[in-house]
Structure 1
Amino acid sequence: MDESASPSPSFPPSPRPATPRPAALRFADLVLDPGTFRSWDTPPRHPATGPYAEALDRARARSGADEAALTGEARLAGHRVAVVLSEFTFLAGSIGTATAARLLAAIERATAERLPLLAFPASGGTRMQEGTPAFVRMVAIANAVTAHKAAGLPYLVHLRHPTTGGVLASWASLGQLTTAEPEALVGFLGPRVYEALYGEPFPAGVQRSEHLLARGTVDAVLPPDALRRRLADTLGVLAARPGPGQAPPPAPAPEPESAPSAGRPAGYSARHPVWESVTLTRSPDRPGLAELLGAAGTVVPLAGTGAGERDEALRTALVRFGATGCVLVGHDRAAAAAHGPVGPAGLRAARRGMRLAADLGLPLLTVIDTHGAELSREAEEGALAGEIARCVAELGTLPVPVVSLLLGEGTGGAALALLPADRTVAAEHAWLSPLPPEGASVILHRTPDRAPELAEQQRIGAAELFREGIVDRILPEPVPASADRAGFVSRTVALVEAELAAAAATRYPAARQARFRRLAQWE
């Protein structure tokens, strides 16, 4: 049989390679509500011929994306959000002119539609094939992000592996809150560039996300499941902003000084031996900021200044108390005992919290519980006094409601830095003083032994602060406060929520400034 005359065997046609799903969208699937992402992208304008066009073709085939950024909208825990995602497998996530145009359009659309904007960068920087025209487009992207935040809208950034170069130096570093992937490479200078310049490897670990968290450059290092929970918590706090017409609860009138301890309402103005209060607030068993945060409905902690400094003695967080969301800035007395008192970096972190409240339109709660600021050469060189002044000045003009809670000790400039507010609440045994009473005694009498006498003379106790108009409400407390820790904390949370609503009904910041001007008048 002549095999050459036999018909050729029949085979099914070879399947065409499936287009891969972009890695950026696979990541988004882990964070966003399933099936809710909707693209905003239109086809990019790319060169039709030449080596660069061929590189773009290969990038499309390899990544499944048509550019190094993908944008759109989605839902996260039911909240509608705008999303910008880097696709690193497309030319190392580099930003060319078409990429920049896509990002710019998405950011501006998010602003116009008043959507929270979530950014997930992963990039080697600007696109070398395009050079300077791509490089300078970072300015327009940064300006658009700034306009988005100026409109009172959230811009939340999660740094993916790797995020370097011009992207990190522009839109990736402008988040109001910034998180990062575990073990992500995050740095301005690429390690290969450093090695080529200096002939040695870049120091190990410096550009890893965990190191940046320790330095206060990022707020958390999170895998996708934890990131989803954190973003949901953040959006939940933002959704709980008190409205401008929310009516405050009526403040009960102060009771007579002979009122029994168990019946003391907020506003009670009875006198105690002030030295007893000083002693009680210094007890290590006294509930502090950690217990207050533990009783909140939602807490989204921030880490440091966001600019390379961190101070454990001062904490900043987005917090939801009941139905009310706020930014909290407070002294952590327990952390100060372990790590040292609040210093310039802590006050810069406090100012970050103040700016965040203004950016997001959230009320600010400051919690005062400090034995005083750091007194050292390093604090002087770090402009401690200037940071106290800047905190006071910023609080005076902050365009959101402010409530201060004098929870325990209130010593010196560290306390004054968090004091200016529309409403001030003091725990019954809290106190406020320019120096610890022992220090005042040394200055006036050359001995600390007359501290109890100075505590009375300087009118530092909560009852005197109430009479002077420095404090608006007094929170009853058991003696010691640790005797009914849960009750004391729950009553504090309830009063804080009421006072946040009351502050929202004030004429801030004009009334706040007038309040302190009245206090400055000689009587």
Structure 2
Amino acid sequence: MSRIGTDELRDAVLDEGSFVSWDSTPIAVSAGESYTRELAEAHAASGRDESVLTGEGQVFGRRVAVVVCEFDFLAGSIGVAAAERITVAIERATAERLPLLASPCSGGTRMQEGTVAFLQMVKIAAAVNLHKQAHLPYLVYLRHPTTGGVFASWGSLGHVTFAQPGALIGFLGPRVYEQLYGEPFPPDVQTAENLQRHGVVDAVVPLDELRGILDRALTVVADDPGPAPEPPAGTEPLPDIPAWDSVLASRRPDRPGVRHLLRHGCTDQVLLSGTGQGEAATMLLALARFAGQPAVLLGQQRVIGGLVGPAALREARRGMSLAAGLRLPLVLVIDTAGPALSVEAEQDGLAGQIAHCLAELVTLDTPTVSVLLGQGSGGPALAMVPADRVLSALHGWLAPLPPEGASAIVFRDTAHAAELSADQGVRSADLLASGIVDAVVPEHPDAADEPVEFSERLSAAIAAELHALRAMPDRMATRLRRYRNIGLR
């Protein structure tokens, strides 16, 4: 597995000639004769004075701060001098309000400096968290190899985390594991691709594609919103469609889902993966722009057996946290047949995850737009509803249970599903009348029959809401008052 050098990374990512070093002479550390000799040899071999390079450059004209490990200097290990250089650079990036790109490539803590070096990860992690608390982007590109305390601190704190294809990434290096336990570490576990599958890494990105994906990410997380979008066409009268017809339309296998919306209704898309907690889920998470309006997009995917379990809801909470941390609007797309009903879901805390999603969303300190794209069944749908503005596709619906389930409770059969769907007021027109939905996006006559046009129409409606919410005063108080009063009028 080849390593990406510091100069190679810098030249691939930054505008030509834009890099300016922030590095000063490394602080002196106490070192015995053997370690002093190692430092001198590392300097001669790498041409660097420490294991990390810091500075600033530009990505398509945007200023960004960079912190990059140099593996050829003592395996990119972090001691007191390197940690101080990193921390000073992060603090400067925060003070100058710059996005920060970090690219670890390290064996971890510098063993020659012992426990003192080990504790340096604390101040680096603190500096990163303060940078993020200032609502500034922190983007990470993990290079081969990244292990130990570096991976367990500033390498795992990114708002968004990319990784080099094939890179060895893990907490305990395989050589250390084998020496400690007398057997090889299981193969293909500590790889970028495996971690991406498990939601630890957002995307595996070759070096020649990194500049492009960083540009798209920065377009969403760092650039200003675009101008006001074109106002949507005039309001169409809602056709009087039976609720059961909408339920059936929402279940069409060719109905466009959130991925279709992302493909045909958005620009500058960056797909993210998982929760950052070692799991993948059926929830789509992405950075994107709707007609120039930046947002975090969180959507339930229409997949076979697409029931929502605890892992998907943990990913939803990551999306909420990401939007709040970057001060980006959050767009939530609801399209679920209901919760996963299983022993595993119960033991993994499904009810608790629904509760946390619900509570966190309704009190989230950023603009929010929810979209009933299709099926809106049960707790996982409710958990993504309470936004500042709620849109519904014409055939979107919302109910405590699928109509068949409600019929089973009330009539002890499923034959009354159509009747109950009408009685419960689940269709978009009823939700609009009850104040649960703010606007209905037309389908002509069914989104499955005009998927591209519908996705463009829905995207335009979302963009208009996002733009209007930016100027909305007392947004949180208005949202809380809205949900406090549903059903009381």
2:188 aligned with 1:211, yes or no? no
Which residue identity is paired with 1:33? D
Q: Report which of the two structures shows the higher radius of gyration computed on alpha carbons.
A: 1
Question: Displacement, 1:32?
Answer: 1.5
Query: What SS does structure 2 have at the residue aligned with 1:119?
Result: strand
Relative distance call for 1:445 and 1:223 in structure 2 (3 A) is: same
- Indicate the residue corresponding to 1:329 in structure 2: 298
2:179 aligned with 1:196, yes or no? yes
- Indicate the residue corresponding to 1:259 in structure 2: none
1:73-114, Cα deviation, whole Å (9 max, x unpaired): 000122110000000110011111100110010000000000
- Indicate the residue corresponding to 2:5 in structure 1: 23
Question: Displacement, 1:250?
Answer: 7.6
- Indicate the residue corresponding to 1:41 in structure 2: 23
Question: Displacement, 1:130?
Answer: 0.7
Question: Displacement, 1:249?
Answer: 8.1
Q: Distance in 1 between matches of 2:84 and 2:169?
A: 24
2:180 aligned with 1:180, yes or no? no
Which residue identity is paired with 1:511? T
- Indicate the residue corresponding to 1:438 in structure 2: 404
Q: Distance in 2 between matches of 1:143 and 1:267?
A: 53
Worse-matched range after superposition: 286-295 or 42-51: 42-51
Q: Which of the residues 18, 43, 53 maps onto 2:36?
A: 53
- Indicate the residue corresponding to 1:518 in structure 2: 485
2:247 aligned with 1:278, yes or no? yes
2:332 aligned with 1:366, yes or no? yes
Question: Displacement, 1:340?
Answer: 3.9
Question: Displacement, 1:144?
Answer: 0.4
Question: Displacement, 1:248?
Answer: 9.1
Aligned residues: 483
2:456 aligned with 1:490, yes or no? yes
Which residue identity is paired with 1:188? F
Q: How does 1:451-490 map to 2 (within 5 A)?
A: 451-490=417-456
Q: How does 1:48-447 map to 2 (within 5 A)?
A: 50-242=33-225, 265-266=234-235, 268-295=237-264, 296-311=266-281, 313-333=282-302, 336-337=303-304, 340-447=306-413
C-alpha RMSD of the superposition: 1.7
Which residue identity is paired with 1:309? E
Tell whether the 8 Å contact from 2:90 to 2:127 is kept in structure 1 after alignment: yes
Query: What SS does structure 2 have at the residue aligned with 1:509?
Result: helix
Tell whether the 8 Å contact from 1:324 to 1:497 is kept in structure 2 after alignment: yes
Query: What SS does structure 1 have at the residue aligned with 2:136?
Result: coil
* Structure 1 unmatched ranges of 5 or more: 1-21, 253-264
Percent identity between matched residues is 54
Query: What SS does structure 2 have at the residue aligned with 1:298?
Result: strand
Q: Distance in 1 between matches of 2:445 and 2:238?
A: 16
Question: Displacement, 1:49?
Answer: 6.6
Which residue identity is paired with 1:458? Q
Q: Distance in 2 between matches of 1:512 and 1:241?
A: 25
Q: Distance in 2 between matches of 1:241 and 1:67?
A: 36
1:106-127, Cα deviation, whole Å (9 max, x unpaired): 0000000000000000111111
1:33-60, Cα deviation, whole Å (9 max, x unpaired): 1211110000113358721111101000
Which residue identity is paired with 2:348? G
* Structure 2 unmatched ranges of 5 or more: none
Question: Displacement, 1:238?
Answer: 2.0
Tell whether the 8 Å contact from 1:422 to 1:512 is kept in structure 2 after alignment: yes
Q: Distance in 1 between matches of 2:446 and 2:240?
A: 16
